[in-house]
Amino acid sequence: ETGVTQTPRHLVMGMTNKKSLKCEQHLGHNAMYWYKQSAKKPLELMFVYSLEERVENNSVPSRFSPECPNSSHLFLHLHTLQPEDSALYLCASSQGSRDYEQYFGPGTRLTVT
Amino acid sequence: DQQVKQNSPSLSVQEGRISILNCDYTNSMFDYFLWYKKYPAEGPTFLISISSIKDKNEDGRFTVFLNKSAKHLSLHIVPSQPGDSAVYFCAARFSYQLIWGAGTKLIIKP
């Protein structure tokens, strides 16, 4: 596979469930990102990992927990979510100083019931 | 408080004509400005960038203009083609982060 892949593409979960989103990049990039996109709103940066270390955490609630085991994989662990967390979750990667050129996966559409 | 604003939710343009998408920003510390394009069921795709020290960057049919005094940038697509129909996002870089606009849906009419 090429580019950035995300699984699952769709997820429905109850507020008491625990689930994980997975992202994998095949581009040899050294930075990875999680974004949230709610309807009609701008993309919101959630987490940034550079060289497998978290460098940004934009005041995201602790019910979202990221994990970056290596430079190719990124996870978002979800626990006790709220209905307002329903959104499209996008993963992206970039390389070096051109971090403004980000390559996105297709996203996971999350619905919290 | 949105630092990057795209005030037009949608824009309709005839095929072959020029499409102009606009974006305003408030933070003078942004050092790069970007345009991304998004088709349904896909993630955004990088289109073109401009450094804050430039006022124009061109790549084929796509040209981005930056007016720093007005804190305004625009994307020109000439000529517009049916495949250009998509949502276009403006974004700006500050430190590690990209700050995004809400997007403009461009519809190219045959």
| Per-residue pLDDT tens over the stretch A9-67 | 999 998 888 999 999 999 999 999 999 999 888 999 999 998 777 777 678 999 999 99
Q: Which residues pair with A90 in a beta bridge?
A: A35
Q: Is any Cβ of chain A less than 8 angstroms from the Cβ of B44?
A: yes
Does residue B45 carry a pLDDT above 70?
yes
Task: Return phi, psi of residue A52, to 5°.
Answer: 70, 10
| Cβ neighbours, 10 Å, residue A66 | 20
Q: What is the pLDDT of residue B71?
A: 97
Q: What is the pLDDT of residue B108?
A: 98
* Of B110, B39, B101, residue with least CA distance to B75: B101
Q: What is the pLDDT of residue A1?
A: 53
Q: Is any Cβ of chain A less than 8 angstroms from the Cβ of B29?
A: no
Does residue B82 carry a pLDDT above 80?
yes
Query: From the CA of B79, how many Å to the nearest CA of chain A?
Result: 24
Residue A106 confidence class, pLDDT cut points 50, 70, 90: very high
Q: What is the pLDDT of residue B96?
A: 77
Q: Which of A41, A45, A105 sits opposite B102 (nearest CB)?
A: A41
* Residue, of B48 and A98, whose pLDDT is higher: B48
Count how many pairs of residues, chain A against chain B, have C-beta atoms within 8 Å. Answer: 54
| C-alpha–C-alpha distance, residues A63 and A84, integer Å | 13
> In the predicted model, what is the mean pLDDT of residues B7-15?
96
Q: What is the pLDDT of residue A52?
A: 73
**Interface list for A 12-71 with B (CB within 8 A):** 40-45, 48, 50, 55-56, 58
Please report, as a single letter, which amino acid is at residue A13. M
Does residue B103 carry a pLDDT above 60?
yes
